[in-house]
Structure 1
């Protein structure tokens, strides 16, 4: 069985790659669902909007993440999410039809390996979604924001800081990630800062002692 790195190398050789500026739309609701994406570099947000137009962030994607892998297994005619870049990004993409040709042709001997790899990515995404649903049911807003900050502190675009880990995120983004209003997010962040659990610095937040994964949640 080939390692995922080797599988990716073979797949990327068949993909188109392109550079995207920050805050660039990659997918909009209603777009045809015909392409698999892979994040080579950068960071993206996956959002949905409710009936009132309020945006919620489902996930952030980083280097090594797939986008649209569900379409490898199921026929989904159109997209229902809004995906845009957060930073300068490089994406690789391949149409599902072309991917199926490869898996039935020159990559046929590795078909099971590719389906396993795509399935594992989907399973991790499902586990994250289940935990987020549990957080909405079991945690108050401050607890959800604490969870969001801990998750962000473990992402590849976080930075080590003398007091913990620095994450680049705005109050609006935190509100969308934790399913609350921007005003509520601001109040909760001020509360966490008053308790010396975080430090706000402009468009970034220092999560103190983020290396202890449960400390922040235990304190809230």
Structure 2
């Protein structure tokens, strides 16, 4: 393993905004510090705000009637969180939980509408942001539905590597501790089946563990299993 360390750049989902338009967002947002374990919003709450993550991590989840949790997105600094439908009074379809103490910029819908109405270039950037969200959702459901649980797991490992990965020579260290329960919640599988699939990948020398963190040793094997379409990193992320 090489001593040289390269951090994989995980661009926030607001990278589609120009510097000027991102600054316009910064001006209207109100900063808040949200403690770990709190929630930005619950499923069923009215969607009248967007949330810009300046620091920390947020997970977006969907719960079933049986109480099982499915992790749909993991947000970090540079990401904007919320239901992307200005001009309409809707309710959140998901719950946003703060998993690290976070600094959040809160953007009211009325301020967003003013920016969209006053600046056509901002409206175009906002449409691009909405497009990224739609593509991210489409590719995640493709991975979950088309290639079985092994394909969904391999896709999730690739997305984790693009979001939290550090290159060490030919391997990639996912520098966030991800439990088997987390992985099972990300792909809608049981923890036991995730244990079994990870054990198979370790036997094939595709992944290993280092200090409790996942190391990807054979990225191409994972890509073959999930029929990877080589999406850009702003789409292929957790």
Change (3 A) 1:202 1:85: farther
Q: How does 1:1-220 map to 2 (within 5 A)?
A: 4-76=18-90, 78-104=91-117, 108=118, 110=119, 112-155=120-163, 157-162=164-169, 164-167=171-174, 168=176, 169-201=178-210, 203-210=212-219, 214-218=220-224
The answer to whether the 8 Å contact 1:69/1:122 transfers is no
Q: TM-score, normalised by structure 2?
A: 0.78
Change (3 A) 1:8 1:69: farther
Q: Calculate the aligned-residue CA RMSD, in Å.
A: 2.3
- Separation of aligned partners in 2, 1:16 and 1:137: 39
Bigger relative CO (Cα 8 Å, ≥ 6 apart): 2
Q: TM-score, normalised by structure 1?
A: 0.84
Change (3 A) 1:150 1:102: closer
Aligned length: 209
The answer to whether the 8 Å contact 2:150/2:225 transfers is no
Change (3 A) 1:42 1:12: same
Change (3 A) 1:63 1:166: same
- Separation of aligned partners in 1, 2:82 and 2:145: 27
The answer to whether the 8 Å contact 2:206/2:221 transfers is no
- Unaligned residue ranges in structure 1 (runs of 5+): none
Change (3 A) 1:69 1:30: closer
- Separation of aligned partners in 2, 1:58 and 1:173: 11
- Unaligned residue ranges in structure 2 (runs of 5+): 1-16, 227-238
Shift of 1:15: 0.9
Shift of 1:194: 1.5
- Separation of aligned partners in 1, 2:189 and 2:52: 30
